[in-house]
């Protein structure tokens, strides 16, 4: 599914914080992911995220930010100059971890195509900021993996919990739809494979049984008591044991048919005589 990450980002950018504290914590997540230790400029390649930063900044500090837009081969890059007078206010203290992670996801998050697998990756610019992301995930009880400066949440349950906590709604409905369709498809494939396997097994058994019947008939050694089941097998080479049992006159059990056909194979192999 193309663009799933971006659809989540668009949904989150449409949400308005309920108060200044929520706006500040989300802003801390965004800026923390995009800011270098030494520097007062952050950048993003996403216009909606750049607009989100300016919106949140206006809500929290009641001031504007300078933005510079540069064109690149693949699109535009948005450079935002921060006001260092508010640098201490932008340090996350552990409050409202769900809003902090919303900002982190907007700034440096990626979710894989859920039609293939379930994985969220959070990749901040500075490695030290990984500790803040880990702290937020721990506070919310979300399991994760860390590799250098990449934090990953893997598996449907973990992703569902993460997205739900950061405020995704429509994206979660879509995720559930995709999982349901995948489950139906996988179950259908299992059933088809199982049926194909059973058909192949039935045909291989039928080939052996028919060969045994031909050998016994050619040597005039086909016992009278097995003639009906032998005729049924020759007439219906693709029938299952259950179907042969129902065709028998009078009908017999599946295990009886299996026993008779096994005896015919044994007789044809010359292993044992017909003593039953």
CA distance 157 to 130: 22
The more confidently predicted of residues 132 and 200 is 132
Please write the tens of the pLDDT for every residue from 209-264: 888 888 888 888 778 777 888 888 888 888 888 888 888 888 888 888 888 888 88
Give the pLDDT of residue 208: 87
Among residues 34, 164, 171, 18, the alpha carbon closest in space to that of 102 is found at: 164
Give the pLDDT of residue 181: 82
∠ CA 252-257-260, rounded to 5°? 125
For residue 161, what are its two tokens? 């919990």
Provide the mean pLDDT of the chain.
86
pLDDT category of residue 272 using cuts at 50, 70 and 90: very low
Tell me the average pLDDT across 149-176.
Answer: 90
CA distance 75 to 231: 75
User: Which of 143, 168, 193 delimits the end of a domain?
Assistant: 168
For residue 16, being part of any structural domain is answered with yes
DSSP string, 150-201: EEEEESHHHHHHHHHHTT--HHHHHHHHHHHHHHHHHHHHHHHHHHHHHHHH
Give the pLDDT of residue 217: 84
Is the pLDDT at 135 greater than 70? The verdict is yes
Phi, psi of 223 (to 5 degrees): -60, 145
User: Does residue 70 share a domain with residue 198?
Assistant: no
User: Does residue 153 share a domain with residue 63?
Assistant: yes
Give the pLDDT of residue 86: 83
CA distance 176 to 173: 5
Give the pLDDT of residue 2: 58
Look up tokens 């995948």; give the residue: 182
Give the pLDDT of residue 23: 94
For residue 98, being part of any structural domain is answered with yes
pTM value > 0.85: no
For residue 275, being part of any structural domain is answered with no
Tell me the average pLDDT across 136-150.
Answer: 92
CA distance 236 to 68: 79
User: Does residue 152 share a domain with residue 189?
Assistant: no
C-beta separation of 144 from 134 below 8 A: yes
Please write the tens of the pLDDT for every residue from 21-43: 999 999 999 998 888 867 788 88
The secondary structure of residue 213, as a DSSP letter, is H
Please write the tens of the pLDDT for every residue from 168-199: 988 888 888 887 887 787 777 777 777 777 77
Assign residue 151 the CATH number of its domain: 3.10.28.10
Give the total number of structural domains in the chain: 2
For residue 176, being part of any structural domain is answered with no
**Segment (H or E) for 138:** helix 130-140
Quick one: three-class SS letters along 234-259?
HHCCCCCHHHHHHHCCCCCCHHHHHH
The more confidently predicted of residues 1 and 267 is 267
Q: What percent of the chain stands above pLDDT 90?
A: 33
- The whole domain housing 227 covers 181-269
C-beta separation of 29 from 12 below 8 A: no
pLDDT category of residue 131 using cuts at 50, 70 and 90: very high
C-beta separation of 258 from 273 below 8 A: no
For residue 175, being part of any structural domain is answered with no
């Amino acid at each position: 599914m193309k663009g799933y990450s971006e659809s989540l980002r668009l949904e989150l950018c449409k949400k308005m914080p309920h108060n200044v504290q929520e706006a500040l914590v989300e802003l801390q997540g965004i800026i923390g992911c995009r800011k270098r230790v030494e520097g007062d400029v952050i950048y993003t390649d996403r216009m909606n995220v750049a607009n989100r930063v300016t919106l949140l900044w206006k809500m929290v500090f009641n001031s504007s930010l300078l933005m510079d837009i540069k064109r690149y081969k693949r699109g535009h890059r948005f450079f935002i100059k921060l006001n260092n007078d508010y640098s201490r206010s932008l340090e996350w203290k552990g409050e409202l971890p769900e809003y902090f992670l919303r900002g982190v996801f907007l700034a440096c998050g990626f979710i894989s195509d859920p039609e293939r697998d379930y994985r969220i990756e959070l990749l901040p610019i500075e490695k030290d900021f990984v500790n803040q992301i880990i702290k937020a995930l721990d506070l919310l009880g979300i399991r994760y993996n860390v590799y250098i400066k990449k934090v990953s949440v893997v598996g449907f349950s973990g992703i569902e919990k993460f997205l739900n906590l950061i405020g995704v709604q429509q994206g979660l409905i879509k995720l559930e739809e995709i999982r349901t369709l995948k489950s139906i498809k996988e179950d259908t494939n299992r059933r088809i494979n199982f049926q194909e396997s059973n058909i192949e097994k039935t045909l291989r058994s039928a080939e052996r049984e028919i060969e045994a019947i031909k050998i016994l008939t050619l040597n005039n050694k086909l016992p009278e008591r097995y003639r009906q089941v032998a005729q049924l097998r020759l007439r219906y080479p693709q029938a299952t044991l259950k179907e042969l049992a129902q065709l028998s006159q009078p009908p017999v059990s599946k295990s009886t048919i299996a026993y008779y056909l096994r005896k015919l194979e044994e007789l044809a192999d010359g292993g044992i005589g017909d003593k039953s």
